[in-house]
Amino acid sequence: MYRWLAALSVFGMLALCGCKGDPSTPAYWEKSLSTKGKKEKLRAIEELRSANVLNKTFLPMLHQRLNDEKSAEVKAKIALLLGELKDPSSIEPMTNAIEMNASESDARQMNREIATALANTGDAKVAGTLLKLMKTKDNYTVIDAIEGLGTLRAKEAVEPLIELATSDSTEPFITKKAIQALGNIGDPKAVPALIKMMFRERKGISFYMESSFALYQIGPVAGDALLAVLGNQNKELTQWAEANNILAPALHAKAAQVLGDLHDKRAEKLLIEKLGYNNEMMDIKLFVRMRMADALGRMRSKDGAKALAGMLDEEEANTRNEYIRALVKIGSHDAVPAMLKAAGKGSWDARETVLRGLGMLGGEAELPALDKLEKEEEKIFAAECKADPEYEACKDPKASVAQHVAVIRETKKRIAVAKECKSDAKCWEKKLDDADTGIRERAAYEIGRSGDVAMVDVLTKRLAEKNLDARLAIIQATDWLVTDSKEAAKQAAKAVPALEKQIADEKGKTEFVKVNEDLRRLLVLLKRSAA
């Protein structure tokens, strides 16, 4: 029935076209595209797109129509068709159709469509035309030209893009596009400018996210420059930062983040040293320490785990949480005794994050201590409320204790699964579908730590996991397997098309924005590993 309806729909469109002959041929459509009325031409183009007959035999006719057409709006639609055909033979007729000094909206829209269509050909020789379009006065055309240069990975665009990205007169949105294009091109010449742009703000807008991702795209070669930043060896950057009122702690923290993403082990010693960073401003001190912890976690630093295990008496909940997250990523069971000790000290907010960490790392040996903690929770919380009676949760201590006990039991439940599966990746695979999101999260981490190459398919099929913590664990676990094994990298590369589609489909969905930054990095890693 659906096929019959589709056929009827196409028949209706062709009837509107008023043409005779074979609708799969260029001659059939040429008459409609050469009619006098602009509306009729636009309608004919839409009908041609919908008829699903467009192929390279249409190119000569479309090129001629583009050349003869007077309406910029119609030309834009023809350029759209040519962009879908992606044939290099369209480069010259499309280039000839450009109006560099366009002031009318239709002409500017035409230039935009042509810029996109030229990039779609994949031919490097269009870079020169796109560079010219990058200098037009229409910002939207500039953006399409920039994106096209990034898609083509045009090396000749690097210097103009750096100039555009770093100029204070550039609109912030265009700056972001220029930075993204530099990342897509991947030329190391852009590294110094991108490092600076991690710290720049314009009109209250930060470029850190785009710049740090671009540096990750460029890859390990960016590590040398970032190490110099972390180690205070880039004097020129230090002077520039001082002149622009950028604090040294910000330089270190953001450089550490990218080094952690790159798993650059050369930074390990410096990162551990800076875990002890001190500053009279508490928020700055903790910010730097958290960023160092996160970087050590991402690179799975065993020495970092030893240092972090000694820092779990930190009273500030968010900071302790960052330390615990790092320890979970490192996967060091040696830190568990310190975690157990911390689970009974400090505010509930600080203790809760430790308990969730124990659920990711703890084993059977920890169950008695957790049983004891459950029994003592009422007394522990009563002491907390005595010290801080204004704490919101202390208004209903009975309900609060019940909620705390529930968290402890969740932790024990996850540890019970660890007791069942131990290091058996196949057992953990079954837990990836558990109703408990924490069990799914731990299952992913355990599979990632297993080194079992066969599990990479299991993980990549679950990258669309809806729970953010579990998704992050799946991303991280896939990263580990791919980083540690060329065979796993080769196998995971098959997931690239599906991952590209997922990222495109989820673009703009606020609930996935933060975790999908890691998903985008994973996509870069898979492509880099497959190259």
CB 355 within 8 A of CB 411: yes
What mean pLDDT, rounded, does the chain reach? 93
Most confident of 295-309, 385-399, 507-521: 295-309
What is residue 12's predicted lDDT score, i.e. its pLDDT?
Answer: 46
> What's the pLDDT at 153?
97
**Which positions ≥6 away from 343 have C-beta within 8 Å?**
351, 354, 355, 358, 370, 373
For every residue of 494-513, DSSP letters joined together read GGHHHHHHHHHHHTT-GGGH
If you average pLDDT over residues 292-316, what whole number do you get? 97
Q: How confident is the model at residue 53 (pLDDT cuts 50, 70, 90)?
A: very high
State yes or no: pLDDT of 460 exceeds 90: yes
The H or E element containing residue 333 is: none
Task: Quickly state the pLDDT bin for 14 (edges 50, 70, 90).
Answer: very low
pLDDT value of residue 33: 85
Contact 415, 370 (CB under 8 A): yes
Q: What is the pLDDT of residue 531?
A: 74
Predicted confidence (pLDDT) per residue in 119-142, tens digit = 999 999 999 999 999 999 999 999
pTM over 0.85: yes
pLDDT band for 297, please (50, 70, 90 cuts). very high
Q: What is the pLDDT of residues 470-491, one digit of tens each?
A: 999 999 999 999 999 999 999 9
303/323 Cα distance (integer angstroms): 14
User: What is the band of 22 on the pLDDT scale with cuts at 50, 70, 90?
Assistant: confident
Q: Which residues touch 344 (CB under 8 Å, ≥6 apart)?
A: 351, 373, 376, 380
Mean pLDDT of 268-287: 96
**pLDDT at residue 7, as a whole number:** 41
Please check the confidence at residue 529 and state whether its pLDDT lies above 90.
Answer: no
The answer to whether residue 277 scores a pLDDT higher than 50 is yes
Listing DSSP states for 68-134 in one string gives H---HHHHHHHHHHHHHHT-GGGHHHHHHH--TT--SHHHHHHHHHHHHHHHHTT-GGGHHHHHHHT
Predicted local distance difference test score (pLDDT) of residue 36: 73
pLDDT at 32: 80
Q: SS3 string of 175-192?
A: HHHHHHHHHHHCCHHHHH
- Mean pLDDT of the region 326-353: 95
What was the pLDDT predicted at 20?
61
Distances (CA, A) of 307 to 119, 200, 276, 297: 50, 32, 9, 12
Cβ neighbours for 136, distance < 8 A, ≥ 6 positions apart: 100, 101, 102, 111, 142, 145
Q: Are strands 205-206 and 201-202 parallel, antiparallel or unpaired?
A: antiparallel
CB 463 within 8 A of CB 478: yes
Q: Which of 158, 248, 165, 262 is nearest to 212 (CA)?
A: 262
188-227 pLDDT, tens digit each? 999 999 999 999 998 899 999 999 999 999 999 999 999 9
- Give one word for 44, left, alpha or beta, with left for phi > 0 and alpha for psi -120 to 50: alpha
Residue 106 predicted with pLDDT over 90: yes
| 207 neighbors 514 (Cβ within 8 angstroms) | no
Q: Report residue 336 as tokens.
A: 């568990």
pLDDT band at 522 (very low <50, low <70, confident <90, very high): very high
pLDDT for res 34: 82
Residues forming beta bridges with residue 201, ordered by sequence position: 206
Residue keyed to tokens 């590209």? 500
Q: What is 427-531's CATH number, 1.25.10, 1.10.3210, 1.10.260, 3.40.50?
A: 1.25.10
Q: What residue spans define the domains of the chain?
A: 332-421, 427-531
Q: In Å, how far are 291, 365, 371, 375 from 436, measured between CA atoms?
A: 29, 22, 20, 23
Task: Count Cβ atoms below 10 Å from residue 504 Cβ, excluding itself.
Answer: 9
pLDDT for res 489: 95
Please determine, for residue 282, whether its predicted confidence score (pLDDT) is greater than 50.
yes
